[in-house]
Amino acid sequence: MSNPDVVVVGGGIGGLGAAFSLTRQGLSVRLLERAPAFGEVGAGIQLAPNCTRILDDYGLLQEAKSLGVVPDAMVMRDAVDGDELTRIDLRDLENRYGYPYMVIHRSDLHGLLLRACERAGVELITDAQVTSYENTDDGARVTLASGETHEAGVVIAGDGLHSVARKLLVDDEPVSSAYVAYRGTVPAELPRVRSTDLSEVVVYIGPACHFVHYGLRGGELLNQVAVFESPKALAGREDWGTPDELDAAFAGTCDFVRDGLPYMWRDKWWRMFDRDPVMNWVHGRIALLGDSAHPPLQYIAQGAIMAIEDGWVLGEHVARNRAEDGTVDWGAALAAYEAVRPEHCRRVLTTSRKWGELWHLDGVAREQRNVLLRARDTYDYSFTDWLYGPTALTPDEEPPMFTPIPLSSAAVEDSKGEPLA
Ligand code: FAD
């Protein structure tokens, strides 16, 4: 087997996206996945315009739209009383950014990228667990658990939250948020789906919990995600996030949210970890990509999107640093990648943490937040422009970040005009 130009480790959404992007630039790519078969666990995923813009560039947007749902609105409600707090008109948002906001089943997105890689000629290898990475004189090498080695001009590590490659760059561990996510889908024939507006992506935010729902597969399924803070995790117990905690966490929420809980999958849950941002992603000819570089808390739904953006940016910098004979100046391409992506992803990671704090407020702070959210103009895009616009290729192109008004400095009154302390 001759050496490819690039080895990509990990066949998740990030690894597949990168493999496709680099193959599109004329490079030969070998992708190594540890699992015996390619696949994605979970249900829905939200794709904002900064991702659908890239899918369109890849020629994959129409297929994605045919598999997913393009909703009309994103609505935020209070989980306790069910009242609407604010909304985004997704048709107007599409006009503003030029590309749609859509939702899709994770396995459909993964399958779409997998098929694109197959068509493009990516060499896809399963049962290939990478145990170590090293730089060589003219590239990099990975070693598998079987002892087999693979070499290439560059190795892209898309090996997820527990990345082996990340250890080359930073000595850190995943950070537990003490929050846990339950997922589940409800088939269209059940009354709950018939009584739900599938043209909306809805998030109910509440004290130490939130609940998300949206339609999938052209309205065949209602996707639900229930997220809460685990008291057992806070108490330092190992067995945290169990279904008894799910029911207790949502006991004080409105009927619609509580009625959705029996449909959650109760045999599987996702403890939510992120990592502190790191600004150094490249070690010689080995580069991190996706969750290996920047696993977020998912509150602004950008984890998979950042991974797809990483692959696209890398592909663009390969194109800019390619000689006429086809050789890539990998030093320059990786430096350009590392100059722009870590700062953007740092912003997403820190914003996601802050967003989670805002969603999960209780007491007076919850009421203050609700007053501010109700006052928001539906057509105010100041908090999405930095995120949903075109993906930056250089630091100069990165838009300024939206800084929310700290709640403590806002003069907030309740519905009777009384100041909220
Ligand atoms: P992964 O999906 O973790 O893929 C890593 C791959 O590498 C896997 O296939 C794994 O088997 C393989 N691998 C690992 N180690 C090795 C090894 N040593 N050798 C070989 N292969 C290896 N993001 C969004 O953009 N929008 C959303 O709406 C959204 N919602 C979310 C909801 C929840 C509840 C959660 C938990 C996350 C959500 N995310 C969302 C985040 C998103 O799912 C992740 O950020 C994204 O899937 C990361 O993709 P990845 O390919 O980088 O990593």
Compute the average pLDDT of residues 344-371. Answer: 97
Q: Respond yes or no: is residue 97 known to be catalytic.
A: no
The verdict on the CB of residue 21 being under 6 Å from ligand 1 is no
- Residue 410 pLDDT more than 50? no
Q: For 146-175, what is the HEC assignment?
A: CCCEEEECEEEECCCCCCCHHHHCCCCCCE
- Residue 411 pLDDT more than 50? no
Compute the average pLDDT of residues 31-39. Answer: 96
Q: How far is the CA of 415 from the centre of ligand 1 (A)?
A: 43
Q: How far apart, in whole angstroms, are the C-alpha atoms of residue 87 and residue 373?
A: 9
Residue 352 tokens read as 């996601």
Nearest to 4 by CA among 33, 20, 28, 32: 28
Compute the average pLDDT of residues 126-148. Answer: 98
- Residue 409 pLDDT more than 80? no
Contact (Cβ atoms closer than 8 angstroms) between residue 221 and residue 186: yes
The verdict on the CB of residue 184 being under 6 Å from ligand 1 is no
- Residue 375 pLDDT more than 50? yes
**Which of 146, 159, 161 gets mutated to test ligand 1 (max ligand atoms within 8 A of its CB)?**
159
Compute the average pLDDT of residues 165-191. Answer: 95
- Residue 407 pLDDT more than 80? no
Q: Name the DSSP letter for residue 299.
A: G
Q: Which atom of ligand 1 is nearest to the CA of 302?
A: 25
Q: How far is the CA of 386 from the centre of ligand 1 (A)?
A: 23
Nearest to 33 by CA among 58, 13, 5: 13
Residue 403 confidence (pLDDT):
63
- Residue 220 pLDDT more than 90? no
- Residue 408 pLDDT more than 70? no
Query: Whose structure tokens read 């997820």?
Result: 160
Render pLDDT for 105-115 as a digit per residue (tens, 0 to 9). Answer: 999 999 999 99
Average pLDDT, the chain: 94
- Residue 415 pLDDT more than 60? no
Q: How far is the CA of 291 from the centre of ligand 1 (A)?
A: 6
Q: How far is the CA of 293 from the centre of ligand 1 (A)?
A: 11
Render pLDDT for 262-320 as a digit per residue (tens, 0 to 9). Answer: 999 999 999 999 999 999 999 999 999 999 999 999 999 999 999 999 999 999 999 99
Instruction: Render the burial of 302-329: b for 16+ CB within 10 Å, e for the rest.
Output: bbbbbbbbbbbbbbbbbeebbeeeeebe
Which among 58, 101, 182, 214 is annotated as catalytic? Answer: 214
| DSSP state string for 115-132 | HHHHHHT-EEE-S--EEE
Please tell me the residue having the least CA distance from ligand 1 atom 53. Answer: 160
- Residue 221 pLDDT more than 80? yes
Give all strands (DSSP E) within 26-164, no chain letters.
Answer: 29-32, 44-47, 73-78, 84-89, 102-105, 123-125, 130-136, 139-144, 149-152, 154-157
Residue 24 tokens read as 């599109």
Contact (Cβ atoms closer than 8 angstroms) between residue 283 and residue 335: no
- Residue 137 pLDDT more than 60? yes
